[in-house]
Amino acid sequence: MNHNLLIQLSIAALLVFSVSGKSYGQKNQIDSLDLTPLISRVIETYPTIQQAVEAMNAADLKIAIARSAYLPNAQISGSYSHIGPVPSLTIPDVGSFSLAPIDIVNAGLNINETISDFGKTKKSIAYEEKSKELSALGIDQVKQKMAMAVIGCYYSMLYFQEAIVIKDNQLLTLQEHLKNVEKKAATGSATQFEILSTKVRISSVESQRTDVVTSLNYQNSYLNMLLGDPASTVHRVKNELRTEVIPFSEDSLISIALRNRNELKIAMKKMGLSQAYQDLVKQHKNPVLGAFANGGWKNGYIPNIDQPKANYAIGLNLLIPIYDASRTNLNTQLAGSAIRSNSYEIDLTRRTITNEVMESTNALRAAISKSELFEMQLSHAKKALELAGLKFKSGTLTNLDLLDSENAVAESSLMFLKAKMERVVVIWKLKATLGINLY
């Protein structure tokens, strides 16, 4: 009675962990998600990528701001002043004359144009353009990482889906064994020990299935987060196990990775950006030649000082830096330090990429070897089960021994399934290590 209660509680726990009242182990569920469209959907909608795209838009605006230095500035100005005392001039025997009106008005249009800043604007534009190139590489890097996250989640879900099917089949087999043992026990040809041992196995498999369902639910929640779907959405992925062959010539793979990886491209772009910044800082010592033109109406002209008159002024202005407290020299040295730091980063990135390629190729070799070994193990377990079945029918093998053989097939199936999933994921990781776009 207590053991039956334990089985019922295990089943209840299993139902609790099933999302939205649906069981992932139902065989009549229809596959819904392909990997490639799933990656595309995440890349189109994930906030981190949208944020990177917005940084790209900001880079375009910064370039436009830098280019605006070539354009003139125009503004309308106006002023009114009431002054006192009014300056005046007294001439004996003639009288007194006001030299300025008591109410001064002035309105006009002011235009300023930089004729030449001797390369400062050009260097500023070059700096912002390199910043944009860096932002573009940043977008590619984020997309690659998100694609790898989707791939990992996808194949984890696929493994758990298939594992549930294996556990369900294992439970069906155990339930059939339990019925047979109970029938035999009723006739005295089986013991209570066999019944209890079978029930313990059922309880153990149900517990394992609950863990698998829980893990699948976690992955489903993670996928909902990537997609931005409601938390209650239940997904099922298709069984896509493409095992492409990648040649194991480490030298050629390292060359491909060093040519394609965004990390190295970004490190090099940072170097170019630091050099562009140093060039820009050096331009701060350059003079600036500009032109101005002002025109409008104001009063105060003798003899009718209260009558506004049209007026204008045109000219040139020149600004030559003489002393800036060594700020330009110090900033130049600071930029030089950044350049040297970037060179170290480039070297470190090359070493890291080389090591990652070696790790990925070794991991793929191991994954292929494990997959082949577990496939052979599963084949042997199936043959052993066939022989065990024949012996059981002939009465030379106990029910528990047969259960051991069936359990060996189930466990070998799980290990082979896991090895296949690992092999596929390692191939995707190797592609990412080589800098091949996953999206």
Tens of pLDDT, residues 118-141: 999 999 999 999 999 999 999 999
Task: Identify whether residues 281 and 296 lie together within a single domain.
Answer: no
CATH at 216:
1.20.1600.10
pLDDT surpassing 70 at residue 12: no
Residue 234 lies in a domain: yes
Work out how many domains the chain is built from and give that number: 2
Whether 94 is covered by a domain: the verdict is: yes
Residue 30 has pLDDT above 90, yes or no: no
Q: Tell whether 372 and 238 lie within a shared domain.
A: yes
10 Å CB burial of residue 246 (0-12, 13-18, 19+) is: middle
Concatenating the DSSP letter of every residue in 256-287 gives HHHHH-HHHHHHHHHHHHHHHHHHHHHGGGS-
339 and 303 fall within a common domain: no
Note whether 370 and 268 are same-domain residues: yes
Question: Could you tell me if residue 217 is inside a domain?
Answer: yes
Q: Examine the domain organization and report whether 280 and 422 are in the same domain.
A: yes
CA distance 416 to 216: 18
Residue 210 lies in a domain: yes
Cα 226 from Cα 157, distance rounded (Å): 14
pLDDT of residue 428: 93
3-class SS of residue 234 = coil
In terms of domains, do 306 and 387 share one? Answer: no
Cβ atoms 298, 105 nearer than 8 A: yes
DSSP H or E stretch at residue 75: strand 73-82
The percent of residues above 90 in pLDDT, for the chain, comes to 69
Same-domain status, 333 and 253 = yes
pLDDT digits (tens, 9 = 90+) for 37-82: 999 999 999 999 999 889 999 999 999 999 999 999 999 999 999 9
Q: What is the DSSP string of 192-227?
A: HHHHHHHHHHHHHHHHHHHHHHHHHHHHHHHHHHHH
Q: Which residue range is the domain that position 146 belongs to?
A: 2-71+120-286+327-433
Residues 182 and 305 in one domain: no
Boundary of a domain, candidates 300, 320, 340: 320
Domain shared by 244 and 378, yes or no: yes
In the beta sheet, which residues pair with residue 207?
Answer: none
Shared domain check, 370 and 315: no
**pLDDT tens across 261-304, in order?**
999 999 999 999 999 999 999 998 899 999 999 999 999 888 88
Region class of 237: left (phi > 0), else alpha (psi between -120 and 50), else beta: beta
**With helix as H, strand as E and coil as C, how does 314-374 read?**
EEEEEECCCCCCCHHHHHHHHHHHHHHHHHHHHHHHHHHHHHHHHHHHHHHHHHHHHHHHH
Domain-located, residue 438: no
Report how far residue 298's alpha carbon sits from residue 136's, in angstroms, rounded to the nearest whole number.
53
**Which residue, chain included where needed, has tokens 């002939």?**
394
The answer to whether residue 439 sits within a structural domain is: no
Task: Say whether 290 sits in a helix, a strand or coil.
Answer: strand
Q: Do 98 and 124 sit in the same domain of this protein?
A: no
Q: Which pair of tokens denotes residue 70? A: 């070539």
Residues 228 and 358 in one domain: yes
Q: Give the model's pLDDT for residue 32.
A: 76
